[in-house]
Structure 1
Amino acid sequence: MAAIQSNPNVSYHMRSNSFPTASHPLVSQFEEHLNRLKSSASASSSSSLSHKLSGLQDLQDSTDKLLQLSTSQQVLAQDCSQKCVDELLDGSLRLLDICITAKDCLLQSKESVAEVQSAIRRRGAEAAFIVGAANYLASRKNVKKAIQKALRNIKGIRNDLIVKENDMLSMLKETEAATVSTLESLLSFISDPKGQSKQSRWSVISKLMHPKRVACDSQEIGINEFEKVDAFLKSAIKQKYASIDSFQGHLENLEICIQNLETEVECLSRKLIKTRVSLLNIFNN
């Protein structure tokens, strides 16, 4: 399954030459990172998603560097109404909330994977594996509920992503829009990526016991690491099938995927906090 695409309603606008630092190297750097993020491939795999998250971190770095410029600080301090200030600060807090949700979901997923691995090590009896599989799927259900709630909140955030006339505000809104879009892709990737028909999905599930076939089929339709494990465990429980030879590789790949995403999201979280602190310093001085 492919992760959802960036929402077409979230627009990215270029700045006018009236911005005081239009000729500053940091502005060119910002636009380069923004354009690169816009043109990056859709997050249909863990590697493409990690690349997208890394690109977002670069954009956040550029944004914060711009916020350190005296001209940028003057523009924001002088031209922002109280409503505008509240919007920016609320927006930065909401991004952090979404990021925290993603971190929590990844942590819960990692713990669930560890439980399944423990059950496999104790698989002297088929029941141990089946219980571990059932607990994993129950945890996944909770993760998906949390993500669906976060995705509904994202829909509300989009309504506030309106670019202002002020160029510095425009840049901040563009960064917020890019962050929302990327986090939306991340959450959908973890939860249940869209874009695959039920027939194709169940075709893969029926072949998960045959690693040579599923390796090809899963690549063709874009099934990701989370769903490979989900599919195998659902099938194992339904068929009371406890042979996990072909499953070990999927579980190890998911573990690596989660670890890589955790690293990227943790870095992004720190950058979001840094940007929020910069905004608070500007508006409190």
Structure 2
Amino acid sequence: MVATRSNSFPRSSRQHPLATEVNEHLNRLRASKEASTSSSSSISHKLNGFQDLYDCVVKFLQLPLSHHDLAHECADELLDGSLRLLDLCSTAKDIVLQTKESANELQSALRRRKIGESEIVSEARKYISSRKVAKKTIHKALGNLKVIQRKNTVSPSETVSMLKEIEAVTCSMFEDLLSLISGPKPGSWLSVSKLLHQRRIACEDAARNVNEFEKVDVALKSFGITKSEIINLEIQNQLKDLELFIQDLEDGLECLFRCMIKARVSLLNILTL
């Protein structure tokens, strides 16, 4: 997990309103990180918060004080960091899109009344297979993310320190997001399954902490055993919830990706002058 610093920026930077605004965005994101679990609602909220942060960063990078601080220090390191973050965002977008396509195909199969049980099982297996591929991709991405975290160093420049702290906080968010999409480790499947198959009244509060990806995964494992109409309907409902969550993730990641590109372009413009 990324360790973020709680100190404010040096005095000269804090004198500018935009620097203060950046710091406020960072403080809110830190507080959100500490106060909430990595649930679907909190991740969607954080994506919106990061969009606001990067919008503010783009404005801050237009300031003369930013140009002065960035003129000759850590250029390659900052550019590499921004590129790695874009790669992480792109990976998350691809995984979400692949899951969406697999979920849509499975949902269509479940809705077709004339389709046979074997065809439904086949579509379920395809979805499970796509999830396994996604988890392998996530595992690799999380390994690359740890490399980014280790490379994060302290700089005497206030602007460079700010950008590196933003990089660290962004890495932490992507770690939470990718872990949420991946779902629980194999050893925790039993406890999650028990949670989801208790009576609805008994597990209502606890089930709120189980995200939409996990619910579909567990339901499909049960479907492979029982193949009942009740499980079929349950999966359809959970796929609808997953579809809504994926749409939120798609929109949030796309907007954040564009904001991050703008920030990188602003950084390139400064460092190539």
TM-score by shorter chain over 0.5: yes
Change (3 A) 1:231 1:198: closer
Counterpart position of 1:173: 164
Instruction: Give the match for residue 15 of structure 2.
Output: 23
Q: Partner residue of 2:118?
A: 127
Q: What's the counterpart of residue 207 of structure 2?
A: 218
User: Any stretches of 5+ residues in structure 2 without a counterpart?
Assistant: none
Using the TM superposition, name which of 196-205 and 129-138 deviates more.
196-205
Q: CA 1:118–1:211 in 2, change beyond 3 Å: closer, same or farther?
A: farther
How far residue 215 of structure 1 moved from its aligned partner, in angstroms, is 3.9
**Does 2:64 correspond to 1:67?**
no
Match in the other structure for 1:280: 268
Report the Cα distance in structure 2 between the residues aligned to 1:214 and 1:51, rounded to whole angstroms. 25
- What does residue 51 of structure 1 align with? 45
Question: What's 2:220 paired with?
Answer: 233
Asked if structure 1 preserves the Cα contact closer than 8 Å seen for 2:69 and 2:159, the reply is yes
Instruction: Write the letter of the residue equivalent to 1:185.
Output: D
Task: Tell me the CA shift for residue 211 of structure 1.
Answer: 4.9
Deviation at 1:147, TM superposition (A): 0.6
Deviation of 1:278 after TM superposition, in Å, equals 0.6
Query: AA paired with 1:61?
Result: D
Pick the structure with more helix per residue.
2
Contact 1:10 1:177 in 2 (8 A): yes
Listed one character per residue, the Cα deviations across residues 90-138 of structure 1 (whole Å, up to 9, x for unaligned) are 0000000000000000000100111111111224322222111111100
Which runs of structure 2 are paired with 1:63-212 in the superposition (5 Å)? 63-77=57-71, 79-80=72-73, 84-124=74-114, 125-193=116-184, 197-207=188-198, 211=200
Code of the aligned partner of 1:63:
V
Deviations 1:231-263 (A, max 9, x none): 001111133445412222211110000000110
CA contact (8 A) 1:37 1:52 kept: yes
- Which of 220, 225, 246 aligns to 1:258? It is 246
Secondary structure at 1:32's aligned position in 2?
A: helix
| Contact persistence 2:47–2:253 (CA under 8 A) | yes
Identity %: 49
The verdict on how the C-alpha distance between 1:199 and 1:235 changes in structure 2, with shifts beyond 3 A counting, is closer
3-state SS of paired residue (1:236): helix
Q: CA deviation at 1:63?
A: 1.4
What are the Cα deviations for residues 57-79 of structure 1, in whole angstroms up to 9, with x where unaligned?
Answer: 111112111101012112211x4
SS state at 2:155 partner: coil
Q: Is residue 110–residue 258 contact of structure 1 (8 Å, CA) maintained in 2?
A: yes
8 A contact 2:3–2:168 mirrored in 1: no
Q: Distance in 2 between matches of 1:112 and 1:234?
A: 16
Distance in 1 (CA, whole Å) between partners of 2:203 and 2:93 is: 29
Residues 57, 268 of structure 1: 8 Å contact kept: yes
Structure 1 pair 277/14, CA: closer, same or farther in 2 (3 Å)?
Answer: same
Instruction: Name the CA distance, whole Å, in 2 between partners of 1:11 and 1:31.
Output: 11
Counterpart secondary structure, 1:253: helix
